[in-house]
Structure 1
């Protein structure tokens, strides 16, 4: 990544840390600035996760609360696929980000869209994934992604369907850019997933899922789920996602400085269809976007971002 250089760039930006983090990290994986900085690591010339070995990344805990139990009949909903269950599914992600520092021209730091076909196989505590031929409309990334085929990944789940860990094991000959793109896509999927409450619910039920998204700025993410349809084991669920920072400042990594959070709006909606007998969503799309504004109190420089992330599942 080329670091911007201009009299208007905040002093902390010139070190490279601010722009590396802000260009990719603030909303990497579609979760606002709570990204654990792994996306930034993957873009600044150092090694991303999973170089030649499997790496397990814990996912922060979620908690579900029923707002309305819905109509009778009601039941406690839980995934019920057995070990060995397989599923063919395709994950598509698209992450758009526009950034402006002071009155400089707006710059595009979007990451190319990815289409990731995969075979999921359920184990005892999670789901193992074998990645197929990943594609992208970006020619250079598409070429780099040719080595991804056959890569292994996985999700660990709790009994209520919450993802508790992400496992990644890219093949050793995969380039850093391809690894980083794959990692970001999976993180986007993780933070757009849904869990079920402990109470019995029926059609029309509404529940909320609270999750703390950790990173430079810790976020409270609240997903409101509405069960709009039941067809045997297949459930149609409308989702509404809202993220809010828990603090008014962002302390940059490596003591690089502090940014005041002037504005933070991230919100989105979507619909997914899940089959309780299968490990991953069978269809659906969720789009989350918004605007973020930060101010360097030492130089009075301002940074603004407009962000949109879309996650789509198809069988």
Structure 2
């Protein structure tokens, strides 16, 4: 194995973001510091306004608390050349959330309190109870685009649990679908484009279709694609480069969005694919198969 491929494998394992999320390490150190995670700006482009009647859909969130459960999981398999595949999957996480919102100058702040977070993974589950009562918040524009995410873990929360919660909330943020500024009706289609950094800088394009809207509640079908911004992966800390030989990351699902509620009320989105990276100085390759899923219940 070359040094560059070794470094690449470590980057994948340690990367924390909305996609390619890795299994959290078993760290028992408690933390009391709030963490602010960057959320890249998104661009929304209307492709088809849909059928009449049309109207502008804006977030007009009430101050009534919303209870919803977020479930996330990620599977990651890595293989160097013909060696056995290694599993770096993130255990499934079930996170009850109570959310409230307040709006000031067209910016809505959604504040969330975690309930009893659970996982079928025994090691992670043992670390999760202290996360109950942790808080998180994100800011959105009146279209629903997320502009910032802050997580404030409970004082007794261990790093393994904090990392799992951060990854789950980040993954959910990058599956948010803001509405276009223009009037839309049933059948409307628009794209949401933003950068996702998960080891590699990627351009994520989400194509949304308004399947129905009833009493203001929108059913949205989504298709997601990701593509690297450069054909060469510059590894961190001057550890070398890898050529991106193959990169496929696609998927989709549907979301039920009530513009008066802070979070989606239902739905699921799954994105996955295969990637192959080649050492430019040899024939050695690093292959990866990834699947990321979120659901709102």
With the length of structure 2 as denominator, give the TM-score of the two structures. Answer: 0.93
Post-superposition offset of 1:13: 4.5
> Partner of 1:123: helix, strand, or coil?
strand
| Shift in alpha-carbon separation, 1:313–1:29, aligned structure 2, 3 A | farther
Whole-angstrom CA distance in 2 between matches of 1:114 and 1:204: 33
Is 1:223 the counterpart of 2:206 in the alignment?
yes
Q: What's 1:185 paired with? A: 168
Post-superposition offset of 1:123: 2.1
5+ residue gaps, structure 2, are none
Q: Say which is worse superposed, 211-220 or 127-136, in terms of deviation.
A: 211-220
Whole-angstrom CA distance in 1 between matches of 2:72 and 2:230: 29
Of 83, 89, 96 in structure 2, the residue corresponding to residue 117 of structure 1 is 96
Of 158, 171, 176 in structure 1, the residue corresponding to residue 154 of structure 2 is 171
The answer as to whether partners of 1:249 and 1:259 remain within 8 angstroms in 2 is: yes
Of 11, 27, 31 in structure 1, the residue corresponding to residue 19 of structure 2 is 31
5+ residue gaps, structure 1, are 1-8
The answer as to whether partners of 2:19 and 2:198 remain within 8 angstroms in 1 is: no
- Post-superposition CA distance 1:12-43 (Å, at most 9, x none): 345xx432212352xx54535xx8xxx69x64
Whole-angstrom CA distance in 1 between matches of 2:200 and 2:134: 31
Is 1:22 the counterpart of 2:12 in the alignment?
yes
Is 1:195 the counterpart of 2:183 in the alignment?
no
CA RMSD of superposed structures (Å): 2.0
- Post-superposition CA distance 1:239-259 (Å, at most 9, x none): 000000110111111111111
The answer as to whether partners of 2:42 and 2:193 remain within 8 angstroms in 1 is: yes
> Partner of 1:214: helix, strand, or coil?
strand
> Partner of 1:221: helix, strand, or coil?
strand
Q: What's 1:74 paired with? A: 54
- Post-superposition CA distance 1:109-134 (Å, at most 9, x none): 11100000010010233100000000
Is 1:60 the counterpart of 2:50 in the alignment?
no
Is 1:11 the counterpart of 2:3 in the alignment?
yes
Whole-angstrom CA distance in 2 between matches of 1:75 and 1:98: 45
Aligned residues: 293
Is 1:295 the counterpart of 2:295 in the alignment?
no
Q: What's 2:67 paired with? A: 88
The answer as to whether partners of 1:20 and 1:44 remain within 8 angstroms in 2 is: no
Of 143, 146, 160 in structure 2, the residue corresponding to residue 160 of structure 1 is 143
Post-superposition offset of 1:61: 0.6
Is 1:142 the counterpart of 2:125 in the alignment?
yes
Whole-angstrom CA distance in 2 between matches of 1:52 and 1:300: 46
Of 109, 112, 118 in structure 2, the residue corresponding to residue 129 of structure 1 is 112
Whole-angstrom CA distance in 2 between matches of 1:18 and 1:268: 24
The answer as to whether partners of 1:20 and 1:43 remain within 8 angstroms in 2 is: no
